[in-house]
Amino acid sequence: MTTATLLIACDDKPGLVSTFAQFIAANGGNILDADQHTEDETGRFFMRLVFDTASFALDESATRAALDRLSSSIANTRFQLFMGGGLPKVALFCSKTAHCVYDLLMRHAMGDLPCEVALVVSNHEDLRSVAEHFGVPFEYVPVDRDNKQAAEDRHEQLLAAHGIGLVVLARYMQIVGPGFCDRWAGRCINIHHSFLPAFVGARPYHQAFERGVKVIGATAHYVTADLDQGPIIEQDIAHVGHHCSVKELTRLGRDVERQVLARAVRWHLERRIIIHGNRTVVFA
C-alpha cells in the first residue's frame, strides 16, 4: 500500500475537517488514519491525515497546488505533505557514548524505523566500528575551539551530499551553532539527559545527585539556538533511590535516553509531529 501523510496547522473555523477530508475523497484517496485537535487556548486547528494513494488522482505537485488553493481561504495555514519519494534519510551525530547510536541502528536493522540511516558523523573515531558493523558510512569530523565554523561547513556538505532530511544528535557532546540550528529547525532532534526544564546544561546526572531527586529523566526535543530550550517531543523517567551513585544514575539514565530518543525519532519519521510555537502536537 502506498500512502501519503498530510499535516495541517491553521486557525480554526467550521468545516475544516470536512474540507480536507472531502478534498481527499473527491480525488480518490481513502483516509486510513485521521487525528484532529483544536486547542482552546489559541484557537489553532491541527490535523493529521494518512491516506491510501493507490487510486489518488493527483501527483505530489498537483496535490500541493490544490492544497495551496484550499489554504488561501483559511487563516495562517501551514501544511506539510509527505507523498511518494523514498524513505527519509537520517544522519546520526555522536561522540564517544555508544548506547543511543547502537539503539537506533539496531532498531533500524530490525525494520522498526521507517527511514534510511545514511550517515553517522562523529567528532571522535570511537564509534566507527559500530557504524561499519551496521553498514552505515561513518564520517569523522573533529571539532575544537578553533575550527567550529569549518566543522559546521563540513557537516552541511556531508548532509547535502547524502540527501539527509533529519539529523539526530544521539548524545553528540558538542553545541551546534545557531546557523545550523536555524537551517535544520524542525529537522534536528536532540536527546538531553534530564527531564527538562530541570537540569539544563552540563552534567545533569551530577545535578540530579546533588539535588537528591527520586526520579531521573530524559527529554527529546527539536534543537533551537537556545540550549535545551527547544520544543519537547517526548520525555520519560526512571525511579532512583539513595543507593544510586552518579555512575548508577548515568547507567539507569541510558535506558531512558535511548527509549525516549527512539520514540521521538520514530514519531518524526511517521510524520506525527507538528511544531506549535515552542511546543509540539504529537499524534501518537
148-167 positions binding a second copy, by CB under 8 A = none
Binding-residue pattern over the window 52 to 71 for a second copy, x denoting contact by CB under 8 A: x--x----------------
The reply on whether position 237 binds a second copy by CB under 8 A is yes
Binder to a second copy among 9, 11, 34, 173 (CB under 8 A)? 34
Binder to a second copy among 88, 165, 204, 231 (CB under 8 A)? 231
Cβ neighbour number for residue 251 with a 10 Å cutoff:
13
Which H, E and C letters describe 194-216, residue by residue?
A: CCCCCCCCCCHHHHHHHHCCCEE
| Element of type H or E holding 70 | helix 60-71
The reply on whether position 222 binds a second copy by CB under 8 A is no
Give whichever of 73 and 85 is closer to a second copy, judged by the CB atom: 73
Least distance to a second copy, CB of residue 271, Å: 15
* Sheet bearing 166-169, strands edge to edge: 138-140, 116-122, 89-94, 166-169, 188-192, 215-222, 232-239
Binder to a second copy among 7, 8, 10, 47 (CB under 8 A)? 47
Q: Which residue has the cell 564520517?
A: 139
The reply on whether position 233 binds a second copy by CB under 8 A is yes
Q: Write out the DSSP string of 119-181.
A: EEEESSSTTHHHHHHTT--EEE----TT-HHHHHHHHHHHHHHTT--EEEESS--SPPPHHHH
Binder to a second copy among 70, 81, 109, 225 (CB under 8 A)? 109
Give whichever of 118 and 232 is closer to a second copy, judged by the CB atom: 232
Give whichever of 129 and 147 is closer to a second copy, judged by the CB atom: 129
Cβ neighbour number for residue 105 with a 10 Å cutoff:
23
The reply on whether position 211 binds a second copy by CB under 8 A is yes
Binder to a second copy among 53, 120, 235, 269 (CB under 8 A)? 235
Distances (CA, A) of 196 to 73, 153, 191, 220: 39, 30, 11, 9
Strand partners for 31 = 51
Cα–Cα dist 43/61, whole Å: 30
Positions marked active-site: 228
Positions in 6-25 near a second copy (CB under 8 A): 12-19, 21-22, 24-25
Least distance to a second copy, CB of residue 154, Å: 28
Least distance to a second copy, CB of residue 146, Å: 31
Least distance to a second copy, CB of residue 232, Å: 5
Provide the Cα torsion 163, 121, 218, 220; round to 10°.
-20
Instruction: Report which DSSP code applies to 88.
Output: P
Give whichever of 91 and 130 is closer to a second copy, judged by the CB atom: 130
Nearest by Cα to 3 from 56, 63, 75, 73: 56
Positions in 124-143 near a second copy (CB under 8 A): 129, 133
Total binding residues toward a second copy, as defined by CB under 8 A: 75
The reply on whether position 267 binds a second copy by CB under 8 A is no
Q: Contact, 56 vs 68, CB < 8 A?
A: no
Give whichever of 145 and 242 is closer to a second copy, judged by the CB atom: 242
